[in-house]
Structure 1
Amino acid sequence: MAPTRTLLPDIFRTEECRALRDSMGALLDTKLDWETVRALDEADQFPDRAWAGLAELGVLGLGIPTELGGSGGTAREAVAACIEIARRYPSLAVDYVLCGMVGRMLGDHGTAEQQEAWLRPLAEGSAIHAYGISEPGGGTDALAARTRAVAVDGGWRVTGSKLWISMADRAEVIFTVARTSEPPSGRSRANGLSVLAVPTDQDGVSVRRVHLAGMRGAGTCEVVFDEAVAPAGSLVGQEGRGFHMLRETLNIERLLSAGISLGVGQGALEAAVLYAGEREAFGRPIGGFQAVQHGLVDVSVRLAGAMLLTERAVEDYESGVDVTDISGMAKLAAAEATAAVVDQGMRTLAAMGLARESSMQMFFRDARLQLFSPVSNEMVRNILGEAMGLPRSY
């Protein structure tokens, strides 16, 4: 059989990206071979050895200025890192993105003291922080936050709950979106939300692991704050402007989310093509039958299109162009293309796709998250429809 190819474009066009891909590939092939990933996934475990290896390579510091302990780097390199991680263990890619979002927030809005205390250890891999945004009563509607923070002597008292918070059970600090004041009459609910760094080693913070069908190793948790203490100096940025800080990160978050989807899709497509070339039925490889072959070609074309759209969005982002629309399009296209890839992959592997020793079942489960996270594809369609000049639909 000829070497396995997926017809996917090479979006690692720069020398820096290709060097990053090669170094990450060598590391992850050692730390995250399939048997290791399978054991981690079945046990809902975080890959400590792989995380430490990424820290040594400087991957955790991508997007963080070198003077703050990071590696600098470009958006293209960060997206490339997402793809390389997700094609092996998607759960780890989710954690990588969320820690990166905390890092970007601290790099842009943290004080020198906050950056030294929280950002540098994060970039070096010696500390893990979580981002407490979503709540039981509001996922896509982040402005519906009911968690409250009241100023007291020496800091803040935080009460409320968060849900779907990755790595909260491992985090030293949870950067929590809480309402510190009510918006003035007639003003947007975005006013009055703040971000507070809440240490987890206190009685007022309880964390419960939520065991998911997919992205098992991402460490998804529910967090309850019962008059938890956010000490003096824990407010990140301006009081009441927390949502505006979040909004600044939406474009890069969507590009990184697209990267996760593309990595999942690439891993699943590679596994499906390999299986189709090796599995025989009726005296020939099943990949020789048009019913199988055409399905794999079709999803490869869809994934390739999503990759090229994402690459264009990244190029625009790095050029300073407003990518509000195209980043949403890239996120949407990548998630939908990957959903098609994993479905075709399951059809190609048939019963073997359901076997737990097959990576396809993991890719199939993990791909579901990208359809509604970090924002649902339905909401992305709403936003893009409005951008086209259509009436607002939400």
Structure 2
Amino acid sequence: MPHGLTEEHTLIRDAVRRFAEAQIAPISERLWEEQAFPYGIWQAAGELGFAGVPYPETYGGGGGQWLSFVIVLEELARVDCAVANALMANSSVASLLNAYGTESQKRTYLRPILEGRRIGAIGLTEPNAGSDAANIATRALQDGGEWVINGAKTFISNSGTDVTGPVVIAAVTGTKPDGRKEISNFIVPSGTPGFGTGRKLKKIGWRASSTHELFFENCRIPGDHLLGERGAGLRQTLAQISTGRILIGALALGILQGSLERSIAYMKERRAFGKPIADFQALQFKVADMATHAHAARLMLYDAAARKDAGERFDQQASMAKLFASERAMEAAHQALQIHGGYGIMSEYPVSRAFGDAKVLEIVEGTSEIQRMIIARELLSSA
């Protein structure tokens, strides 16, 4: 048992690993090839409590720790990162609803996405607003007791499925006294007139993660679908983003661990020049590096999650963990592919699929460059 983990953490890891090996691994290649959202897996994950681990039991959650949720995502991503991302993206919506939603909003929208009956999507990114979230152009104007939304979102995970909803979006609702945009968050249920789903986006990784463009054309929602205070949208989202970086780091750790285990297994099985390729020092060094990086990433991520659970500041640790884990996952996926040789570039092999998945992790929840900016700013401001 890793230092600092309890027996409960080990039981969670074992349960998720059994689930991932039995339910996800056999269909992972098909999900990749068909770019199909895994409805049955999502429902089962919700019923087993995986989606709601760190959220209140009152709304269908498990009342557990964020460290436990990191372990859940790590074990799922070890087998299929796209499936793990469905839980990660869902948690972004769950965190916003849990932190800022009214009692009615929580019971109506939070409980279903924690229990696996629905899946949440967060609509922040736009064609010209990614890392620069303050640059969003989607607008929401008050008209009597309603809000009228116009605009577009892109790269939205968990969108376009039969169980998507709610979608929490950020929209400009006015101008602040200092001239900056006033941004607010809104809950938009699926099926709302004027809310449309655009084309399904094809990605180099996360192919089983349903990703679409979203469009809002005179989309009317009731006034009580404002989430939290008017004008607090950007602050609400940024308050959750460091948690998202820990969770993306957990996906990266899963890829790192999976790449290591697959490489070791293949090296013991494959023979070249009359002996197992595990006997070649050049390949031994590759798995030694993978194991070292997985250990370091695990310590960083578990530390950041434990800080969050303890109510301590963890922003810098989250950025460091996300940066390190995602870059090392990309490196491990690359080396695993090299170890597998020609078989590694065939999509029927998990190492090939993990390579595409790993690249995505260096982009989402703030690119590696953004993480370095955040870390440097923290260091220089406290020096």
- Interval containing the TM-score (normalised by the shorter chain): over 0.9
1:29-75 alpha-carbon deviations (Å, 9 max, x no partner): 22112x41100111001112211211111111122111122111101
Deviation at 1:96, TM superposition (A): 0.4
Identity over the aligned pairs, expressed in percent?
Answer: 29
In the alignment, structure 1 residue 194 sits paired with structure 2 residue 187: no
> Which residue among 2, 12, 16 is the counterpart of 1:10?
2
**Could you tell me the TM-score, scaled by structure 2's length?**
0.95
Partner of 2:167: 174
RMSD: 1.6
1:79 counterpart SS class: helix
Quick one: which amino acid aligns to residue 155 of structure 1?
A: E
1:348 and 1:12 mapped to 2: Cα distance? Answer: 33
User: Separation in 1 of the partners of 2:70 and 2:369?
Assistant: 23
Give 3-state SS (helix, strand or coil) of 2:79's partner.
coil
Greater displacement, 369-378 / 318-327:
318-327
Q: Is 1:369 matched up with 2:360? A: yes
Q: Does 1:389 align with 2:380?
A: yes
Most deviating of 345-354 and 167-176: 167-176
SS in structure 1 at match of 2:260: helix
Aligned equivalents of 1:313 and 1:54: distance in 2? 24
* Pairing partner for 1:334 from 306, 311, 325: 325
Which stretch of the first structure deviates more once superposed, 143-152 or 381-390? 381-390
Residue 105 of structure 1 deviates from its aligned partner by 1.2
Deviation track 1:279-337 (CA, whole Å, cap 9, x = no partner) reads: 10001111110111112212221222111111222222222221111111011110011
Q: How does 1:176-325 map to 2 (within 5 A)?
A: 176-185=169-178, 189=180, 192-207=182-197, 208-325=199-316
TM-score (norm 1): 0.93
Contact 1:31 1:49 in 2 (8 A): no
Structure 2 match to 1:84: 75
Q: 1:390, CA displacement in angstroms?
A: 7.2
Deviation at 1:11, TM superposition (A): 6.6
Q: State the alpha-carbon separation in 2 of the partners of residues 224 and 181 from structure 1.
A: 20
Matches within 5 A, 1:108-123: 108-123=99-114
Residue 22 of structure 1 deviates from its aligned partner by 1.6
Q: Secondary structure at the match of 2:175?
A: coil
2:12 is aligned to 20
The 8 Å contact of residues 241 and 365 in structure 2, kept in 1 or not, is answered as no
Q: 8 Å contact 2:89–2:158 — kept in the other structure?
A: no
Unaligned runs of 5+ in 1: 1-8
Output the CA distance in 1 between the equivalents of 2:233 and 2:381.
Answer: 29
Distance 2:192 2:241 in 1: 31
Once superposed, which parts of structure 1, at least 4 consecutive aligned residues long, lie more than 6 Å away?
none
1:223-265 CA-to-partner distances (Å, cap 9, x unmatched) read: 1111112223110100110111112112211111110100111
| AA matched with 1:52 | Q
Q: The residue matched to 2:213 in structure 1 has which SS?
A: strand
Give unmatched runs, 5+ long, in structure 2.
Answer: none
